[in-house]
């Protein structure tokens, strides 16, 4: 059983992707698509899933190479348009890279998107996982939305100007139509702007965390070196209370002095398990030689007689 659906998406990335996945969940698999048409055939509900890739920033040669690469990975792909109509000639795309700024027909014009089909295997379907790549991609998509919306608003203002000068009802209706189309492009552009903002905040947070991890790693390396040179207390000589040491200890690492009250029992942290401790407020975190945090301690007593709270 087959069916054809006529539809156009102003939200040509997320909106179109969501709709295709909803159709697949109902048991309809995409087999062909035109400028305003989608042809489906029956399949098992949820058997396939879809992603929509924005390739309007690439030259026609690069988009074909990318499409061939996706197909070599076992995906089925379809070119999809953003522009509607019959075009010949050249168009400028300010969001493109290099030769991707020029769209030609025949060529990359009306091939601004690639619909990617994957058989549902229970695994996450994400073609982009790097935050930097996602941020760059969505910035280009946002620019495309605003460019299309700006073009519609410009036509609307031009028609409105002539409508006022000529007192023409048709010009006024045309201005209203182009203005409405501009808003239909603008809405997904604003949604994409929110997504760009969130990705930017997430990327900045990851950069800060990465810098902190790098700084802490350097500090751990320094402490490990000092530990070997005996300039600071060696961890193998450090003991702490049972409650503080419990997260650090594994089988065979505890040394209990029997017959004493629980709070007086002490555990020794083996040097083979812990490599360095880093002061963090009222406690000190314990790290192994691979810079993994394996626990923390509170008040400690050092074998050399130095006591304190790190």
Alpha carbon separation from 124 to 13, 23, 50, 121, 306 (Å, rounded): 18, 18, 11, 9, 53
Q: Which of 176-185, 264-273, 277-286, 298-307 has the lowest mean pLDDT?
A: 264-273
What value does the mean pLDDT of the chain take?
75
Q: Once rounded to an integer, what is the mean pLDDT over residues 193-213?
A: 80
Rounded Cα distance, 143 and 73, in Å: 30
User: Quick one: 123 and 1 in the same domain?
Assistant: yes
Residue with token string 């690069």: 62
User: Quick one: 133 and 115 in the same domain?
Assistant: no
The residue that leads in pLDDT, 246 or 214, is 214
The residue that leads in pLDDT, 241 or 72, is 72
Cα distance between the two ends of the chain: 72
The residue that leads in pLDDT, 216 or 160, is 160
Q: 59 in a domain, yes or no?
A: yes
* Structure tokens belonging to residue 45: 């509900």
* Structure tokens belonging to residue 162: 């002539």
Domain boundary pick from 156, 191, 223: 223
| Residue 156 pLDDT | 94
Whether the pLDDT of residue 202 is over 90: the answer is no
Cα angle: 275, vertex 277, 282; to 5 degrees:
160
User: Quick one: 259 and 216 in the same domain?
Assistant: no
192's CB contacts (< 8 A; 6+ apart) are 13, 138, 141, 142, 145
| Residue 208 pLDDT | 67
Q: 299 in a domain, yes or no?
A: yes
User: Quick one: 247 and 218 in the same domain?
Assistant: no
At 233, the pLDDT band (50, 70, 90 cuts) reads very low
User: Quick one: 277 and 254 in the same domain?
Assistant: yes
- CB of 290 within 8 A of CB of 304? no
User: Quick one: 281 and 242 in the same domain?
Assistant: yes
| Residue 97 pLDDT | 83
Rounded Cα distance, 180 and 35, in Å: 21
| Residue 234 pLDDT | 38
Helix (H, G, I), strand (E, B) or coil at 46: coil
Digit-coded pLDDT (tens) for 124-171: 888 888 888 888 999 999 999 999 999 999 999 999 999 998 888 899
221's CB contacts (< 8 A; 6+ apart) are none
Residue 279, domain extent: 233-308
Q: 237 in a domain, yes or no?
A: yes
Q: 175 in a domain, yes or no?
A: yes
Domain boundary pick from 191, 223, 255: 223
Q: 271 in a domain, yes or no?
A: yes
User: Quick one: 117 and 151 in the same domain?
Assistant: no
Q: Once rounded to an integer, what is the mean pLDDT over residues 12-29?
A: 95
User: Quick one: 199 and 273 in the same domain?
Assistant: no
Determine phi and psi for 115, rounding to 5 degrees.
-85, 125
Q: 228 in a domain, yes or no?
A: no
User: Quick one: 303 and 257 in the same domain?
Assistant: yes
Tell me, rounded to whole angstroms, the distance of Cα 41 from its chain centroid: 32
The total domain count for the chain is: 3
Whether the pLDDT of residue 174 is over 70: the answer is yes
Digit-coded pLDDT (tens) for 290-299: 555 656 655 4
Whether the pLDDT of residue 211 is over 70: the answer is no
Alpha carbon separation from 173 to 8, 10, 137 (Å, rounded): 22, 21, 36
Q: 18 in a domain, yes or no?
A: yes
Q: 294 in a domain, yes or no?
A: yes
Digit-coded pLDDT (tens) for 29-47: 999 999 999 999 999 999 9
| Residue 143 pLDDT | 94
Nearest one of 213, 235, 210 to 288, comparing CA atoms: 235
Helix (H, G, I), strand (E, B) or coil at 142: helix
User: Quick one: 3 and 121 in the same domain?
Assistant: yes
Count helices and strands (H / E) in the chain.
5, 15
User: Quick one: 147 and 171 in the same domain?
Assistant: yes
User: Quick one: 41 and 160 in the same domain?
Assistant: no
Torsion sign, CA atoms 184, 187, 188, 193: positive
Digit-coded pLDDT (tens) for 251-273: 433 333 333 332 333 333 333 44
Domain boundary pick from 166, 193, 223: 223
């Amino acid at each position: 059983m087959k069916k054809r659906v006529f539809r156009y998406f102003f939200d040509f990335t997320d909106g179109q992707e969501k709709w295709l996945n909803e159709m697949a969940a109902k048991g309809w698999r995409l087999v062909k698509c035109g400028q305003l048409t989608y042809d489906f055939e029956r399949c098992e509900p949820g058997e396939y899933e879809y992603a929509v890739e924005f390739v309007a920033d690439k030259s026609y040669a690069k988009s074909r190479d990318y499409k061939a690469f996706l197909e070599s990975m076992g995906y089925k792909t379809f070119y999809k348009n953003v522009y509607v109509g019959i075009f010949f000639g050249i168009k400028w795309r300010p969001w493109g890279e290099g030769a991707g700024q020029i769209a030609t027909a025949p060529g990359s014009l009306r091939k601004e998107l690639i619909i990617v089909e994957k058989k549902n295997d229970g695994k996450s379907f994400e073609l982009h996982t790097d935050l930097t790549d996602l941020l760059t991609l969505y910035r280009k998509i946002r620019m495309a939305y605003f460019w299309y919306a700006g073009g519609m608003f410009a036509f609307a203002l031009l028609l409105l100007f002539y409508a006022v000068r000529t007192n023409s009802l048709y010009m006024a209706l045309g201005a209203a139509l182009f203005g409405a189309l501009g808003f239909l492009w603008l809405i997904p552009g604003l949604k994409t702007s929110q997504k760009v903002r969130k990705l930017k905040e997430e990327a900045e947070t990851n950069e800060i965390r990465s810098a902190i991890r790098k700084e802490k790693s350097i500090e751990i390396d320094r402490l490990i070196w000092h530990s070997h040179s005996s300039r600071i207390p060696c961890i193998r000589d450090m003991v702490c209370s049972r409650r503080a040491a419990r997260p650090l200890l594994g089988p065979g690492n505890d040394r209990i002095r029997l017959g004493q009250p629980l709070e007086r029992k002490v555990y020794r942290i083996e040097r083979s398990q812990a490599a360095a401790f880093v002061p963090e407020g009222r406690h000190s975190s314990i790290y192994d030689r691979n810079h993994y945090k394996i626990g923390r301690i509170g008040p400690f007593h050092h074998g050399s007689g130095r006591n304190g709270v790190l």
